Amino acid sequence: MTESILLQAIIYLAAGVIFVPLAKRLGLGSVLGYLLAGLVIGPAGLGLVGEEGGDIMHIAEFGVVIMLFLVGLELEPDLLWKMRTAILGLGGLQVVLTTLAVAGLAFLLGVPIQPAFAIGMILAMSSTAIVLQTLNEKDLMPSVAGQSTFAVLLFQDIAVIPILAILPLLATYPLPGDAAGAHEHSLLEGLPAWARMLAVLGAVAFVVVLGRYGMRPVFRVIARTGLREVFIASALLLVGGVAYLMELVGLSPALGAFVAGVVLANSEYKHELESDIDPFRGLLLGLFFIAVGASVNVGLIVSQPGLVAGLVLGSMALKALILAGLGKRFKLSTDQNLIFALALSQVGEFAFVLLSFCTQNGILEASMAGLLTAVVALSMALTPLVFLINERLLLPRIGTRSHPDRDTDTIEEKNPVLVVGFGRFGNIVGRFLRASGVGTTVLDFDSDRVDILRRIGLKVYYGDASRYDLLASAGAADAKLIIIALDTPEKSLALVETVRRHFPQLKILVRAYDRDDAYEFMDAGIEHVYRETLDSSLRMGVDAMRLLGTRAYHAERSARLFRRHDEAALAELAAVRTDRKQYFSTARRRIRELEQLISSDETDRWLREVEEGWDAETLRNEMNQMATSPTPPPPTP
């Protein structure tokens, strides 16, 4: 193997670039793609990366750190406080029960009691990286399952601190000499317990104070330089520095980053930090997953397939069962509970950290740690598959997918207009109609939004409008119009189909995001298609012209002309858009025409207003001729 880091990087990146799109194509999700890429380039596959994988793993773990920093940024302290029951109740019980159950089973299987407890705590962890990434990709974060999952992950991340504190007490084996690994930097070795505790508290306090009072002026100065890369560097430095500090005192670096994130959640630099660091998160997490894939000890798995498979499936089943029991106790509906339990059933990346800590501190034998590492990696690799199975096989049998646990509202009003989707577009239309005295029934299936809208006094109903029964109870049979402002054209088209089939009398007005959306709706034969950005962009254009000194009425007329022309062009282009060549030639012609219309003095519609209505050239000519001719002039206007 080569020593060149560049070559290593190229191998990793190439593997990612090849496998992730493939996995996406196959509907497997990016995480599985990365893991596969790791397996292929790892020692078990092509062997392109070998022992060096460990180093990369170390760098890649930084991805997890950044992810938790970003998670922290998203969380305002109030939100944390609001979630305290879920975090402490759900998360706490999960960690305690799983630890006890796993430890009990391990003990029954002949593992001595102390290592059995260590194994219990290790297996209680789930993968923050995989689960959050997957939930985000599937848009499940706002659901009840997503929130519960998040609460448990949060508790686990926090629980790593006491676990790291407890583990040394479980040491039974002699230390394997000078331990090499993540914790070789720890300054606290050999210090008494109270000193360690003080150091840990001091470090956390330092991060909080730094975040709250120290970083703001620093960011301000850096932001003032206007150098974006310096800002990015300082953000990475902050995260890296905090992670390193945490590692020094033996805490989880990810947790430190998380705390730093929470502290900065209220700062004015929140969004800049987010957008600057986000690309690194994606890339490094990808690396992390590849490294996990590469580190799977295939030899071990092949030599003891039954044992490994049993441990993987057994631990996942056990975790899922405990989680499902808790979910039920915390009143999650069946489908939400299924997502929740299966999402967290794998063992997470913290287990790697804990395992290496355990071998270094003589808590677990190396062979046991190796076996468990394989189990952890495999269970992580299986997670996307578990999601897939849940989504394709289990959920369709149990209930509607990704539905927050909440009953559909019953609707008593009968109004002429239904507004479906009360997001940034629908809410303007809906409020306008309501303010104008037009009776509207609003439907939305973002339960958070429904609650917020209700709190500010708007009448909004919760429910999935693509369901016939909800449409019927919303009064679709008596309504005249339905305004569809859903997020995606797929959802909108599905709703259009339902409406057409069951309520043909409803006139359909649909919001399109852009041209491509509009084409799809026009293909579906909808007459009233509204591109959401058309009017506001033109308004901006008009204002720009006015700021440049154009007279207001002229600017307005130009915008009207453009709009009319653009709508006509849209219809024409929709018809030819499958033929790329014709599409582009038509588009070019349309643009040329429009420019000519606006700039030329030919007889187009609004220029006609100016040229003939209020300033007729022909009239002037005729008058001039009259003046020079001997006959008396006719009456003039």
Partner 1 sequence: MSSILIQFAHPALEKSRVNQVMLRAIRDLPFVTINDLYEEYPDFDIDIDREQQLLLAHDYILLHHPMYWYSTPAMLKQWEDLTLEHGWAYGRQGVALTGKKLMNVMTIGGQREAYNEAGYNRYTVRQFLAPLEQTARLCKMTYLPPFAVHGTHRITEAGIQQAARQYRNLLIQLDAGLIDIPTVLDLPCINDIIPTDELTVNPAPQS
Residues that bind partner 1 (CB under 8 A): 557, 560, 605-606, 608-609, 612-614, 616, 618-619, 622, 634-637
DSSP state, residue 189: T
Spatial strand order of the sheet with 528-531 comes to: 461-462, 440-444, 417-420, 481-484, 507-512, 528-531
How many whole angstroms separate alpha carbon 280 and alpha carbon 275? 10
User: HSE (CB half, 13 Å, CA atoms) of 394?
Assistant: 16
The answer to whether the beta carbons of residues 418 and 483 sit under 8 Å apart is: yes
DSSP string, 248-278: HTTS-HHHHHHHHHHHHTTSTTHHHHHHHHH
Beta bridge partners, 462, equal 444
Phi–psi pair at 564, nearest 5 degrees: -60, -45
DSSP string, 348-409: -HHHHHHHHHHHHTTSS-HHHHHHHHHHHHHHHHHHHHHHHHIIIIIHHHHS-TT--S-PPP
Specify the residue for token string 């995480």.
31
Q: Which two tokens stand for residue 47?
A: 């062997």
Indicate the residue among 196 and 557 with the shorter CB distance to partner 1.
Answer: 557
Indicate the residue among 177 and 635 with the shorter CB distance to partner 1.
Answer: 635
> What's the min distance (Å) between Cβ of 431 and partner 1?
21
Indicate the residue among 313 and 438 with the shorter CB distance to partner 1.
Answer: 438
Number of other CB atoms surrounding residue 106 within 10 Å: 20
Phi–psi pair at 479, nearest 5 degrees: -75, 165
- Between the alpha carbon of residue 428 and those of residues 163, 419, 432, 434, the distances in Å are 51, 10, 6, 10
> What's the min distance (Å) between Cβ of 552 and partner 1?
13
> What's the min distance (Å) between Cβ of 260 and partner 1?
54
Indicate the residue among 225 and 636 with the shorter CB distance to partner 1.
Answer: 636
Q: Which of 506, 604, 513 is nearest to 564 (CA)?
A: 604
> What's the min distance (Å) between Cβ of 66 and partner 1?
52
Residue 30, exposed/middle/buried by CB under 10 A (0-12, 13-18, 19+)? buried
Indicate the residue among 270 and 560 with the shorter CB distance to partner 1.
Answer: 560
> What's the min distance (Å) between Cβ of 614 and partner 1?
6
Indicate the residue among 194 and 614 with the shorter CB distance to partner 1.
Answer: 614
> What's the min distance (Å) between Cβ of 554 and partner 1?
13
> What's the min distance (Å) between Cβ of 622 and partner 1?
6
Indicate the residue among 55 and 612 with the shorter CB distance to partner 1.
Answer: 612
> What's the min distance (Å) between Cβ of 604 and partner 1?
10
Residues in the chain: 637
DSSP state, residue 460: -
Indicate the residue among 340 and 606 with the shorter CB distance to partner 1.
Answer: 606
How many whole angstroms separate alpha carbon 68 and alpha carbon 48? 30
Q: Which two tokens stand for residue 424?
A: 């940034």
> What's the min distance (Å) between Cβ of 590 and partner 1?
20
> What's the min distance (Å) between Cβ of 483 and partner 1?
20
How many whole angstroms separate alpha carbon 374 and alpha carbon 284? 22
> What's the min distance (Å) between Cβ of 617 and partner 1?
9
Indicate the residue among 531 and 557 with the shorter CB distance to partner 1.
Answer: 557
Indicate the residue among 403 and 557 with the shorter CB distance to partner 1.
Answer: 557
Indicate the residue among 401 and 563 with the shorter CB distance to partner 1.
Answer: 563
